[in-house]
Amino acid sequence: MSCCFLQCAATIIILCIGETHNLINYVSFINYLSYGVTIAGLLFYRWKKPNLYRPIKVNLLVPVSYLMFWALLLGFSLYSEPVVCGVGLVIILTGVPVYYLGVHWKEKPECIYNFIARATSVGQRLCFVVFPQMDPIEIASPSEWTDRSSGKNSLSGSL
């Protein structure tokens, strides 16, 4: 949640300083970069966890060819507009310190926990949402699905 606020603040600053057209270019690069990383993650999971349940299965040629064209177009973007790509990367990287302070750092002082709780509550009220409560039954269930066609579950032996 805090990461979203920081990126929102960075976006507002960019809007105040520059043109909206530049912001659209930055966000377009960010979206395009995330598409390629998503496909790369898909390929990584197909390699590392081949029995993981997948509701949609496609030939491996589809994501590999998409990733090759994505890399080619990303290279052209980096070559033709390096400043736009650089600013897009900086916008993405603003979330890294927030991640380390908010998620990775396990033993935070109580004042930081209180601030996070208040910020979450304000965000929930502003967006008219409620954080979902965890069901104890769901916590005891397996953490990952396996391929149902194989009839095997990595945690319990069989389905």
Q: In this structure, is residue 140 part of a structural domain?
A: no
Quick one: average pLDDT of 37-56? 89
Q: Which domain holds residue 91?
A: 2-16+26-129
Q: In this structure, is residue 114 part of a structural domain?
A: yes
Q: In this structure, is residue 148 part of a structural domain?
A: no
Q: Supply the pTM of this predicted model.
A: 0.57
Token pair of 30 as six digits: 């960010």
Distance CA 54, CA 136 (A): 26
107 conformational bin, left if phi > 0, alpha if psi -120 to 50, beta if neither: beta
Between 41 and 154, name the one with better pLDDT.
41
Measured on CA atoms in the order 22, 39, 6, 99, is the torsion positive or negative? negative
Distance CA 52, CA 146 (A): 4
* The predicted structure's pLDDT at residue 158: 45
* The predicted structure's pLDDT at residue 106: 85
The per-residue pLDDT of the chain, averaged, comes to 79
Quick one: average pLDDT of 132-141? 58
Quick one: average pLDDT of 42-66? 89
Q: In this structure, is residue 156 part of a structural domain?
A: no
Query: For residues 67 and 33, is the Cβ–Cβ distance under 8 A?
Result: no
Quick one: average pLDDT of 71-96? 89
Q: In this structure, is residue 135 part of a structural domain?
A: no
* The predicted structure's pLDDT at residue 91: 84
* The predicted structure's pLDDT at residue 63: 92
Tell me how many domains the chain contains: 1
Confidence of residue 131 (pLDDT cuts 50, 70, 90): low
Q: In this structure, is residue 91 part of a structural domain?
A: yes
Quick one: average pLDDT of 97-103? 83
What string of DSSP letters covers 63-94?
Answer: HHHHHHHHHHHHHHHHHH-HHHHHHHHHHHHT
